[in-house]
Structure 1
Amino acid sequence: MAALEKLDAADAAGDGTTERAARHLVQPWPTAGQIGAEARTYIAYGDGIYITGAGGERLIDGPAGMWCVNVGHRRAELADAMRDQAMELSYNTPWYTMNEPSVALSERLAAHAPGDLNHVFYTTGGSSAVETALRFMQFYNNVRGRQEKKTILSRQGAYHGSTYLSGSLNGRPRDRDWMDGADGMVVKLSSPNPFRRPAGMSVEAFSDFLVEEFRETVARIGAERIGAFVAEPIQASGGVIVPPDDYLPRIAQICRDNDILYISDEVVTAFGRVGEVFASLDVFGVEPDMITFAKGVTSGYFPLGGVMMSDRLFETLRRSNHPDAMFAHGLTYSSHPVGCAVALKNLDLLEGGILDHARSVGPYFQQRLRTLEELPLVGEVRGLGLMACIECVADRDSMNPLKLDNEVGRRIDRHCQELGLLVRPLINMCVMSPPLVISREQVDDMVAILREGISRTMDDLRREGLWRG
């Protein structure tokens, strides 16, 4: 009870919200020591690239919610689309009916998707989108009589969701320490992180190493046992890992040569984050068999996700000897009319100028953030478009670098919040993915706050004798 009383005394909202949250609200990704008794930063209001706390403090929304508020907060166009659709048709069962917004959105998305990815299966978010793609891979191989072709290749540093199969693909430190998964079905390859490549190895040689590792893995397991390779074009929650330029196209070719489905997880990179509605082909040179998406499809205004699927896959199934085989998978909220209506209006905004703005401001965002590499605590600034990571390296020589580096992320976040910026700290990394509508002047504000927040953290560590940089 003492912990709850302490939270109540420090209630940020002033109306008992913090205490009520700690009593009743279970937060995502809690630790056992705080589960069911935790309150987090209270956000009362959003407008454009800013959010406002309970005390009236205005913060730049550095993570854009969770990589998702692409067109910014408080867009009346999306709120109106939500209301108008709810008043016309709030819901229909996707099991034996359909609605116009989902059909119209499917047509719009197919026009943006690469190659023959002309079909969409709608879900409620990114985890369920990845889960759907994997379930479809299993169904596809079962119908083709290839029941053994189910192994999934993923990578260290990956994040693909929180459902059972999608969570089994995750390769970030500590994600799976206390969670079960389908471990026998998943093989993890190396993260394509050039910053952490072996000492003395060039980026080109590192790419060759990754490709050869993939070839050797296929040879060792057997292509007849591998169903899919799942990859974020940029490993987002793994620290905004941008792979070597030729790596993904070379991997995609190996997948084609071995009849392995290539699933591009664009839950973060789609809908303008790197300048395109879908980035797989236009940015990374890959034409996948499936693309998973969520987040920016509605700019976070409504839970919606989906899987773009290749015509070729459906044609293969229709030619099979099992015409009655059923893809027994679906969600109550698949093809939700309100979510699809919001996504249509969101696409209107993106196509109406926001994509062009994102392409224009993205290079400036990257250029300004890279000036932070001047700071001794900063190991690397990396990114693409309007997503970036400032990786701090405090404990370069320690046998347990996580101990101090984890503290660094929390301290930077605390200082930046005091200065007017919400940061997403990932251990020793600060992830930035602001709304796409951010201006150059606002980029300057963000970078100035980050510089001061990191500088204050360096001063703290020196004063406490924790760091000599």
Structure 2
Amino acid sequence: MAAVKQIREAGVAAALTNHETIDLAKRHLVQPWPCAGEIGAEARSLISGGEGIYITDGEGKRLIDGPAGMWCVNVGHRREELARVMYDQAMQLSYNTPWYTMNEPSAVLAERIAAYAPGDLNHVFFTTGGSTAVESALRFMQFFNNARGRSDKKLILSRGGAYHGSTYLSASLNGRPRDRDWMDGADELVVKLSSPDAFRRPEGMSIAAFSDMLVAEFEETVRRVGADKIGAFIGEPVQASGGVILPPENYLPRIRKICRDNEILFIADEVVTAFGRLGHVFASEDVFGIDPDIITFAKGVTSGYFPLGGMVVSERLLEQLRRSNHPTAMYAHGLTYTSHPVGCAVALTNLDLLEDGILAHTQAVAPYFQQQLKTLEELPLVGEVRGIGLMACVECVADRESKNPLQLDTNVGMRIDAHCHELGLLVRPLINMCVMSPPLVITREQIDDMVGILREGISRTMDDLRHEGVWQG
């Protein structure tokens, strides 16, 4: 309590020691995704500062921010332009209720986002982040079909390995290991499909045949369940938190056609891939050649400086609603912070930065990023390095023949992260995988540093596993 009193009396200029912050967290702070044995009593790595692609931990150690926060700090830390616009907008208008008023930044931002969206996706609904963006899209699908007299057309097709959020409905779509082991969900609304993970395709099957298999499964599911019962398919163009799973070539356009032929809404979840991660504002059309009915976005829209997300919706869908037999039907969905003026002002300046060279830089440096990370496949613990743009995954396996990660210590990713932290790199560990998605402003020299540290961290982990008799690779 003495530390808290010190902060109150001296204001933000007074900083707690690392030990004091850890103590407060253990006594009062509930972390996201906690295990029951530690809930409300744990402290995680303390981050005290950031600049460019670097962050500083509680001990003053500078680290490369390998995951860019949570796939989101696209323009880098400590950008004065974004800090300044937050202050300026707050001094002009800090908040307005979206229920019966509006603000200028949200209208301008909606127009600029619509200009980048493919096809006729001309309308934007703003939320507070990725989970609420996905939730909004799914509730829109339900409303859309109710208003059109199709109350049974509500099922949602999702895939293994997917991650779509933490709200009740969005989390029900998730297909990653352990996400749903102890959590309930709206299982009656969700139909699960196979993951498009080509690394784990059936032995001896070509990638082209694997793509055919996925498409055939999709077609069979629509026939079995009934197109009149399926409201939407949702998919990440690249399954991010599932391990940076890239779709087989031409798989997404084929799925898009099936959806269009069966009046199933195609929702592209671009919470991670939008706003520069793949070198474009949106990846759906520019990278994968698809024009969805709805695109969800968040994270990079403000580079993590302010909570903001949203969905971009097809003009055709809204026109059908306007012409329905229920003109007074209400899309009874919204959030206190929908179209927040500060968040939208930050996003406008963030988009300026992307347009003023960061998108071009990402496109130029991404091939080198992928090439250098691919060299880690020389290490016997590494089963595959895969990625696109400035996102990649290093997947570790017990042996390359079986591709079995389960024989390994399930914390192998955390072991690698611990070594890398000591060496100057923060890694995103996912069980047996290390995910890398650095700020888009990273240079070639910094990529070399990052890959060099990751190589040493994996090498040290291999030595640990051998010494413990866990792994003989």
Which residue of structure 2 lines up, in the alignment, with residue 8 of structure 1? none
Q: Specify the SS of the correspondent of 1:380.
A: strand
Q: TM-score, normalised by structure 2?
A: 0.95
How big is the shift at 1:401?
A: 4.2
1:380-419 maps to which residues of 2 (within 5 A)? 380-394=384-398, 401-402=405-406, 404-419=408-423
How big is the shift at 1:461?
A: 1.0
The answer to whether structure 1 residue 130 and structure 2 residue 134 are counterparts is yes
Which residue of structure 1 lines up, in the alignment, with residue 46 of structure 2? 42
Q: Specify the SS of the correspondent of 2:383.
A: strand
- Work out the CA distance in 2 between the residues paired with 1:299 and 1:282: 21
1:419-430 maps to which residues of 2 (within 5 A)? 419-430=423-434
Which residue of structure 1 lines up, in the alignment, with residue 382 of structure 2? 378
1:322-333 maps to which residues of 2 (within 5 A)? 322-333=326-337
What CA deviation, in whole Å up to 9, does each residue of 1:246-299 have, x standing for no partner? 100000000000000000000000000001000001100110000000000000
Q: Specify the SS of the correspondent of 2:228.
A: helix
Which residue of structure 2 lines up, in the alignment, with residue 68 of structure 1? 72
1:272-421 maps to which residues of 2 (within 5 A)? 272-394=276-398, 401-402=405-406, 404-421=408-425
- Work out the CA distance in 2 between the residues paired with 1:400 and 1:254: 34
Q: Specify the SS of the correspondent of 1:391.
A: strand
The answer to whether structure 1 residue 25 and structure 2 residue 20 are counterparts is no
Q: TM-score, normalised by structure 1?
A: 0.96
How big is the shift at 1:89?
A: 0.2
- Work out the CA distance in 1 between the residues paired with 2:402 and 2:371: 31
Whichever residue aligns with residue 142 of structure 1, its letter is: N
The answer to whether structure 1 residue 438 and structure 2 residue 442 are counterparts is yes
- Work out the CA distance in 2 between the residues paired with 1:399 and 1:13: 44
Alignment length (residue pairs):
458
What CA deviation, in whole Å up to 9, does each residue of 1:166-198 have, x standing for no partner? 000000001001101000100110000000000
Q: Is the 8 A contact 2:302 2:350 kept in 1?
A: yes
Structure 2 CA distance for partners of 1:189 and 1:13, relative to 1, 3 Å: farther
Which residue of structure 1 lines up, in the alignment, with residue 5 of structure 2? none
- Work out the CA distance in 2 between the residues paired with 1:235 and 1:446: 23
- Work out the CA distance in 1 between the residues paired with 2:239 and 2:46: 28
How big is the shift at 1:245?
A: 1.1
Which residue of structure 2 lines up, in the alignment, with residue 248 of structure 1? 252
What CA deviation, in whole Å up to 9, does each residue of 1:417-462 have, x standing for no partner? 0000000000000000000000000000000001000001111111
Whichever residue aligns with residue 52 of structure 1, its letter is: T
1:270 to 271, 274, 283: 274
The answer to whether structure 1 residue 58 and structure 2 residue 62 are counterparts is yes
Which residue of structure 2 lines up, in the alignment, with residue 202 of structure 1? 206
The answer to whether structure 1 residue 460 and structure 2 residue 454 are counterparts is no
Structure 2 CA distance for partners of 1:426 and 1:13, relative to 1, 3 Å: farther
Structure 2 regions of 5+ residues with no counterpart? 1-15
Which contiguous aligned blocks of 4+ residues in structure 1 show a shift greater than 6 angstroms? 396-400
Which residue of structure 1 lines up, in the alignment, with residue 172 of structure 2? 168
- Work out the CA distance in 2 between the residues paired with 1:424 and 1:13: 25
Which residue of structure 2 lines up, in the alignment, with residue 100 of structure 1? 104
Which residue of structure 1 lines up, in the alignment, with residue 120 of structure 2? 116
- Work out the CA distance in 1 between the residues paired with 2:406 and 2:33: 19
Structure 1 regions of 5+ residues with no counterpart? 1-11
- Work out the CA distance in 1 between the residues paired with 2:249 and 2:405: 29
Identity %: 77
- Work out the CA distance in 1 between the residues paired with 2:324 and 2:405: 54
Cα RMSD, aligned residues only? 1.3
